[in-house]
Structure 1
Amino acid sequence: MTDVENDNVTGTARSGSQSKEDDEPGRIWQSLKALLFGNTEDNSLRAQIEEVIDDHESDAESDPNNQQDISSLELEMLRNMLHFSEHRVDDIAVPRADIIAIEESSPFSEFVDIFSEHGHSRIPVYRDNLDNIVGMIHIKDIFAILAKGGKHPEDITPFLRQPRFVPESMGVLDLLAEMRATRTHLAIIFDEYNGTEGLVTIEDIVEEITGEIEDEHDDEPVPMLVKLDDGIWEADARAELDDVGDAIDPALEIIDEDVDTIGGLCFVLAGHIPTVGEQLEHPSGWMLEITEADDRRVTKLRLHPPQLEHE
């Protein structure tokens, strides 16, 4: 190695060493801040991508005439993908009360009717009650029997397929991987007592990224919360407490029990399944009047605002 090369190597090493020394106070200060105040800065790849999305959206808002290379829909899907793995299956599951299912001993005509009425391609099949799901039936198998004009089977068991059975704590991303690997499009969610908690389809998972996908069989969306006169609200019992708090009054979210919906709140306040006409007082002063219910659940209610005290 020549003297010039030696000098270059030595200079480079000295420069690198000097650079590290210059950076040392900064690293010490960063460590000290993290120790005193906690590490509030998120330098993860996820956070960096989300920051780029935020900047892109801000640029689009500040200059609407500027042609953006990524549409708002694509940005929304990108953001949904970033948070996809944060969800559990019970966050997106169809709740137990809304599951469309059929008893395995039902006559073949009822299997035809349930597909015709609800437009689903797969229907869970249970024995005795919904906690004992024995399989699912596919519309293709029912249609094949009808198309061939053959004898209607008295026993549906040979046509049953197996869904996935997964715990409510399972991650959505894990379920997606499992459903892809097993080529299964429906999963039954069970709770800690091995009871049926809900169900998830592959469409439910995809909608976490793309947003709601409506088809010709879906009913028109009905608002969960509707404001009436005199501060009264009409609510679907499935409305999330977070949404109720945002739209009506944050005080309605405050409850010691672990409940997610306004219907669950009614059950907690009553200590039993409320009946139609029953009125339940919330600690905040709101009155919850049950307007629709059956022997298993509340379906509709009205929220009456707290009465002002007159001196």
Structure 2
Amino acid sequence: MDDISTGTLFLLLAILILLSAYFSSSETGMMSINRYRLKHLENEGHRGAGRVARLLQRPDRLIGLILIGNNLVNIAATMIATYLCVRLFGDVWGPVVVTFGLTFVILIFAEVTPKTLAALYPEHISFPSSFILLPMLTILYPFVWLLNGICNSLLKLLRINPMGNDEQNLSREELRTVVYEAGALIPKKHQDMLVSILDLEQVTAEDIMVPRTDIVAIDINDDWKDIQRQLVNAQHTRVLLYRDSIDDAVGFVHVRDALRLLSKDQFTKASLLRAVREIYYTPESTPLHTLMYKFQASKERIGLVVDEYGDIQGLVTLEDILEEIIGDFTTSMLPDHSKEAHIQQDGSVLVDGSANIRELNKEMDWQFPTEGPKTLNGLILEHLEDIPDANISLRVAGYPIEIVEIKDNMVKTVRVMPDYYVTPSTDTTDN
């Protein structure tokens, strides 16, 4: 090496540091690349993505290959730098200078800078790098295999599976984060729809059903003229028929079928009962995604919700499930146009006690608990453990609430003060 000029040695040292930077950036780029985008690009026929995917099938081999190359060039760089420093600074100061100087140079130019760049732009580094690493793996495979064999054996002695768990499955919460982190790539409305689909498994028929007391139904034992009037004025295409009590449900009649009978002068109770369609029953605990599949399989659009004793608790439709996904498409989603929540000039909100808590949370961006009662009236009664009088104020889940009206042993109207929301840990009740 005495015959090699100092300039040539500096050139070789610079080349080795560049090679070290290449291996360092390749390692970070390969490990930082988005696996799902990589899979998408591979399916689209991107050659660079295909090469990277092949390398990442065995990360242990890829890391072994990169570390072999990185250590070789770093050791070679150390040898040349040591010889240079001894030649320039002597036997005493040469080793000191090379220790601190080369460490500084490698950290800046071969480690921190290239790895930071690769972490920021993994695709720009990984795809070109794979063009070199893939043939290198073929050439150096015996050395990589030997290195991995020794390392994997040591890991097995520690009862660690060297292959690990290479599954890239995402949980529901992780998928939710991915959707929201998409930012402008996915419009806000589409993000809400995707998240709503993920939440279908957690929402049950009981959460979205029309309560028993609000079901629009016709008593088949009523006067025939009253039945005709109710059918003519019906706001729904399907109406439930029952005898005396809704627990004795007969079935659903489609208003279209009734009008067809009327047009043929065959509109009688007997003909109406023959036009009745069989009732589809579903337990109140049925998750919405399951209920949607059952509706699809049975070609149903409406069903009655029953509890564990078989008593009818409410009514659920396919439209209700769709509204959970895409939002309310029968009324405006704006809070100031809500049927059950009315914003006042002072910022307070007058809310119907029968309002569904989940719908209120979605429309008003509130945080009332949804694990217990389904309506605001039920939540207040559970909180107070008694039927209150009007003009009582309390705090529920951090929201100051004033009970405005009580009717039929129910909280009919309340005033919510969202501007004074505090953390639920400070819940208090004030009479």
- The Cα shift of 1:186 comes to 0.6
CA distance in 2, matches of 1:281, 1:168: 33
- The Cα shift of 1:54 comes to 2.2
Residue 114 (structure 1) aligned with residue 114 (structure 2): no
Aligned equivalent of 1:263: 377
CA distance in 1, matches of 2:429, 2:175: 48
The 5-angstrom pairing of residues 61-210 of structure 1 reads 68=185, 70-148=186-264, 150-155=265-270, 156-210=272-326
The one-letter code of the counterpart of 1:97 is T
CA distance in 1, matches of 2:242, 2:187: 45
Distance 1:95 1:159, change over 3 A: same
Instruction: Give CA-to-partner distance per residue, 1:261-290, whole Å, 9 cap, x none.
Output: 222245554746x7xx74556487955232
The 5-angstrom pairing of residues 232-311 of structure 1 reads 233-240=349-356, 243=360, 258-265=372-379, 267-268=381-382, 269=384, 271=386, 278=390, 282=394, 287-290=402-405, 293=407, 295=408, 297-302=410-415
Instruction: Give CA-to-partner distance per residue, 1:138-157, whole Å, 9 cap, x none.
Output: 11211111222x14313332
Residue 56 (structure 1) aligned with residue 182 (structure 2): yes
Asked if structure 1 preserves the Cα contact closer than 8 Å seen for 2:353 and 2:377, the reply is: yes
CA distance in 1, matches of 2:285, 2:403: 31
- The Cα shift of 1:53 comes to 1.8
CA distance in 2, matches of 1:141, 1:12: 76
CA distance in 2, matches of 1:222, 1:247: 9
The one-letter code of the counterpart of 1:184 is E
CA distance in 2, matches of 1:106, 1:192: 30
Asked if structure 1 preserves the Cα contact closer than 8 Å seen for 2:247 and 2:312, the reply is: yes
- The Cα shift of 1:241 comes to 5.2
CA distance in 2, matches of 1:286, 1:158: 50
The one-letter code of the counterpart of 1:182 is S
Asked if structure 2 preserves the Cα contact closer than 8 Å seen for 1:270 and 1:280, the reply is: no
Larger radius of gyration between Structure 1 and Structure 2: 2
Asked if structure 1 preserves the Cα contact closer than 8 Å seen for 2:392 and 2:430, the reply is: no
- Structure ranking higher in helix proportion: 2
The one-letter code of the counterpart of 2:374 is D
- Structure ranking higher in strand proportion: 1
Aligned equivalent of 1:32: none
Asked if structure 1 preserves the Cα contact closer than 8 Å seen for 2:402 and 2:414, the reply is: no
CA distance in 1, matches of 2:346, 2:248: 46
Matched residues, number = 267
- The Cα shift of 1:121 comes to 0.8
- The Cα shift of 1:75 comes to 2.7
CA distance in 2, matches of 1:231, 1:211: 25
Task: Report the secondary structure of 1:86's partner residue.
Answer: coil
Which runs of 5 or more structure 2 residues have no equivalent in the other structure?
1-138, 161-167, 421-427
CA distance in 2, matches of 1:109, 1:81: 44
Distance 1:233 1:197, change over 3 A: same
The one-letter code of the counterpart of 1:49 is L
TM-score by length of 2: 0.50
TM-score by length of 1: 0.67
The one-letter code of the counterpart of 1:178 is K
Distance 1:24 1:289, change over 3 A: farther
Task: Report the secondary structure of 2:195's partner residue.
Answer: helix
Higher relative contact order (CA 8 A, sep 6+): 1
CA distance in 2, matches of 1:142, 1:236: 34
